[in-house]
Amino acid sequence: MTTDAAAQGRANLAVWEASKPVNFFTADANLQSVLRRILGDAAYVRTEANLTRFGGQVATALDQWAREEDLIGNHPRLDRYDGIGRRTEQVAFHPNHERAGALIWASDMLALQAEPGHIVEQMALFYLLSHNGEGGHCCSIACTAGLIRALQTVGSESLKARFLAPLVGSNFDTMQHGAQFLTEIQGGSDVGANALRAADQGDGTFRLTGEKWFCSNVNADQFLVMGRPEGASSGTRGLAVFVVPRLLDDGSTNGFFIRRLKDKLGTRTLASVELDFDGAVAYPLGPLDQGFKTTVELVLNTSRLLNAVSCAGVMRRAAIEAASYAAHRTAFGQVIGAYPLVQEAVADCVSEYTAATASGFALAALLDLMETGRASEDQQAVYRVLVNLNKYATSVRGSHVVHRAIEVLGGNGAIESFSVLPRLYRDMVVLESWEGTHNVLCLQVQRDMQRYGLHKPFLRWMGERLDSVTAPALAQERAVVASAVERGADLLARITALSRTAQQAHARRLADILTDCAQAALLLEEAQWELDRGLATAKPQIIAHFVNAHLRPGYDPLDDPGYLDRIRFVSEAALRDADPV
């Protein structure tokens, strides 16, 4: 028998559910402002209708389908043969997979890559899609986007004619999809240990033989595969990269065999397998001796951007869940959102997703400049540094943010049927490790700075962001960030003076301060733009919360008379623009 109290509690939860945004784009004033600033009014207006349509689909149909597809019993399963026993090496999906794919591809997310200069718009769609976590399709989008970029940049005309056009379009059923198979069992980070053999056939093709240990999106039509041509040197220098069509001209599978489907903690509606190649026909992509360079610069440096934008979308969704719950759940006679400890948790979520959004879209804008040949050498160097820093930082913070949001929902936060948060949390663990682990990325940044001096353009670029900030309301935080940038430069100098082993021990500390500085500088630049236009913006308070948490030396909230007001204000920022039913 339901008591009055239970009925009231359930009614409150129903109001909470109904209060959540039904459109992740129109509910996101921050995203709209970020896009308008980067794209300019005319381009923003051109893309607004599509983003509005897609933002509604992600918050409604796609949300529902992703949830159903992730239920136990609905996960992908191996379906290796067709009805009459021919090998197909396919994975079978729940019907929602197709439905979702049709909507996602129809958003033009990949079609936008037909012409250079649309990465920001593409990332806006991807950020929205990621409100549902990986959702079975984000990996496919990321892999296909990287393959498109590699083919466009280093593909021969014949390779482009055969492989590029089928990847770029809006029809999920008829377009081809890409996958990336780099990792082998003996080591993923240590790519130079890759051993898959590539035998030259003398006719422009190679035959691949060997294992790949992590192969996601295995139903793809084209695999980008890293392998070692026979006779090539060891290490990364001897690696080549190939495009491998799934099917041969006669429709049979192209010399690959799935060993098993991996049973994963997260991204469970994405099929990831272990796979053997046995004489697969492969086409070299770019110069044979530049496989590692091609893969890092064109493929990984694309998917690392997408990974980070995904984390920003996941964080934004977690913040919405937490903030809306806090506004409706009552405990001890008032809504929990009135309690400072809850406000603090939600404010942390809000400031982190806002920072991740700033750095993700700044990178997207830089990539647009690079793709259209308008990026200076400095800007290219900044992209190289920031894409690695940002992949690291946003995935670490993403897990933390989802965890904080789960805490706000209490025990309900751990329940799969209650909210999206458990799925987001599981997906975040994967987003942390693929496309480069934390240590590997931080060490890469440190090496790039020490070996190639890339800290110089990076520091200059942060200085330029700060120079554009003149509003008195931002002056205090600007000064803190400027001095943190100096501390970052000083830390690099101190680390460089250490032994090689000691240098490695501090790579993450360096990455932390540099990413925090970059995100804070970008947030300040955004806030200046919003203030210049007289927009009602929560960003100055969000920046203060972010800067105090990460960059202000010796900051103690106890000594900060504005702390209570700020966490209350910032915690409400995620909801301020939401559009309840």
Binding site for ligand FAD (CB under 6 A): 180-183, 187-190, 214-216, 264, 267, 272, 430, 433-434, 437-440, 443
How, if at all, do strands 222-229 and 178-181 pair? parallel
CB-wise, 53 or 447, nearer to ligand FAD? 447
Cα–Cα distance, 182 to 168 (Å, whole number) = 23
Cα–Cα distance, 25 to 53 (Å, whole number) = 8
Collapsed DSSP state (helix, strand, coil) of residue 334: strand
Cα–Cα distance, 83 to 471 (Å, whole number) = 69
CB-wise, 214 or 546, nearer to ligand FAD? 214
Shortest Å distance, C-beta 154 to ligand FAD: 19
User: Which residue bears the tokens 């084209």?
Assistant: 222
Cα–Cα distance, 58 to 28 (Å, whole number) = 13
Which residue type occupies 423? R
CB-wise, 215 or 346, nearer to ligand FAD? 215
Report whether 54 contacts 239 (CB < 8 A): no
Shortest Å distance, C-beta 26 to ligand FAD: 32
Shortest Å distance, C-beta 294 to ligand FAD: 14
CA 318 to chain centre: 15
Shortest Å distance, C-beta 226 to ligand FAD: 8
Closest residue by Cα to residue 418 from 352, 329, 353, 354: 329
Shortest Å distance, C-beta 219 to ligand FAD: 12
CB-wise, 99 or 438, nearer to ligand FAD? 438
CB-wise, 181 or 353, nearer to ligand FAD? 181
Q: How far apart are the first and last CA of the chain?
A: 30
One DSSP character per residue, 456-502 reads HHHHHHHHHHHHT---GGGHHHHHHHHHHHHHHHHHHHHHHTS-HHH
Collapsed DSSP state (helix, strand, coil) of residue 21: coil
Report whether 315 contacts 307 (CB < 8 A): no
Shortest Å distance, C-beta 141 to ligand FAD: 13
Tokens describing residue 469: 């900030």
Report whether 408 contacts 346 (CB < 8 A): yes
CB-wise, 162 or 438, nearer to ligand FAD? 438
Cα–Cα distance, 240 to 495 (Å, whole number) = 34
Shortest Å distance, C-beta 69 to ligand FAD: 16
CB-wise, 385 or 443, nearer to ligand FAD? 443
Shortest Å distance, C-beta 186 to ligand FAD: 8
CA 281 to chain centre: 32
Cα–Cα distance, 56 to 330 (Å, whole number) = 29
CB-wise, 124 or 431, nearer to ligand FAD? 431
Closest residue by Cα to residue 310 from 143, 557, 481: 143
Shortest Å distance, C-beta 148 to ligand FAD: 16
CB-wise, 156 or 189, nearer to ligand FAD? 189
- Closest residue to ligand FAD, Cβ-based? 188
CB-wise, 267 or 310, nearer to ligand FAD? 267
Shortest Å distance, C-beta 462 to ligand FAD: 26
Strand ranges for 33-81 from DSSP E: 77-81
Shortest Å distance, C-beta 214 to ligand FAD: 3
HSE-CB for 3 with a 13 A CA cutoff:
3
CB-wise, 101 or 188, nearer to ligand FAD? 188
Tokens describing residue 249: 């001209």
One DSSP character per residue, 18-37 reads HHS-S-TTTT-HHHHHHHHH
Closest residue by Cα to residue 571 from 373, 395, 347: 347
Report whether 144 contacts 110 (CB < 8 A): yes
Shortest Å distance, C-beta 450 to ligand FAD: 15
In whole angstroms, how far apart are CA 367 and each of 178, 238, 295, 302, 399?
Answer: 20, 28, 16, 9, 26
CB-wise, 349 or 443, nearer to ligand FAD? 443
Cα–Cα distance, 566 to 556 (Å, whole number) = 14
CB-wise, 180 or 310, nearer to ligand FAD? 180
Shortest Å distance, C-beta 307 to ligand FAD: 10
